[in-house]
Amino acid sequence: MNNPLGILAGVIVCSVTLPIFLSVVSYDNIEINTSQKQEQLAEIKSSSKYINYETIDKDSPKINIYNHKTNKIEQMDIEEYLYGVLSGEMPSDFNIEALKAQAVAARTYVMYNQENKTSKHKGAAVCTDYTHCQEYKSYEELKESKGEEWIKNSYPIIKQAVDETKGHVITYNDEPILPLYFSTSSGKTENSEEVFSTEYPYLRSVDSLYDKYAPKYASTLKISNKDFVSKLKNVYSDINITDDNLSSQIKI
């Protein structure tokens, strides 16, 4: 999951999941000052598995991350980790609410992996490689790649989006969902089993009407007749087509 494929991701994943099933709990929105509140807390803990992976303390959880660049597992505060994820997954000049939605999706992805032990990285919930998990860049990497001006003007917006959603994840039946997000669905999303092998009740096909405002809603690719025919023949070896007078041999 990288920025080119992560544009508007937060908005899209919310369009898939939030209208149907959304359960959000924050680990910093409950203060325990009285015995009555302690009793209420005990009831919550006994009735909800959700508390097992999102604590209600003001300290956020620590997670193990496999750094594919150093080939080492690092322990990091999940909210600190999300600063680096959001910086890589979505442009900082997107609307703050879109950034918040992406932060929730990214946090949920980590918790889903951790709760279900689906990570292929032994001892770590996620890795830093966008081709496998989520894009992540450290503060130092961001400073080097994006520059001082970005750090000064844009990084605070990233932090705001993460901080204002602290501890929030998307759940279904008291479990974190698998928040598969992507750039653009061109007007409609797909049911999960039509893309992947697993059917998820919360990843159902819905209209995505605002995709037309996405930067990559429409694109143009120019290719020579020769390359066009070559690519077709790579897949369909017995196809009868040549690059001479190509327009008379095909139609859309």
Same domain, 149 and 251: no
- For residues 110 and 177, membership in a common domain is answered with yes
**65 and 13 in a common domain:** yes
Same domain membership, residue 236 and residue 170:
no
Together in a domain, 24 and 133 = yes
Residue 1: predicted pLDDT: 57
Does residue 92 share a domain with residue 75? yes
Query: What is the count of structural domains for the chain?
Result: 2
Q: Look up the domain containing 241 and give its range.
A: 220-252
pLDDT over threshold 80, residue 111: yes
Tens digits of residue pLDDT in 165-202: 998 999 999 899 999 888 888 889 999 999 888 999 99
The Cα–Cα gap between 25 and 107 comes to 12
Six-digit token pair at 223?
């290719």
The answer to whether residues 117 and 196 belong to one domain is yes
- State the first-to-last Cα distance of the chain, in angstroms, to the nearest integer: 32
Pair 82, 44 in one domain: yes
Kindly provide the b/e burial profile for residues 25-57, where b requires at least 16 CB atoms within 10 angstroms of the residue's own CB. bebeeeeeeeeeeeeeeeeeeeeeebbebbebe
Do residues 156 and 249 both lie within one domain?
no
Query: Is there a single domain that holds both residue 239 and residue 134?
Result: no
Share of the chain above pLDDT 90, in %: 43
Cα Rg of the chain, angstroms: 22
- 161 within 8 A of 9, measured Cβ to Cβ: no
What predicted TM-score, i.e. pTM, was given to this entire model?
A: 0.68
Higher-scoring residue by pLDDT: 22, 72 = 72
Which whole number is the average pLDDT over 103-130? 86
Considering the domain architecture, whether residues 70 and 194 belong to the same structural domain is answered as yes
Residues 167 and 232 in one domain: no
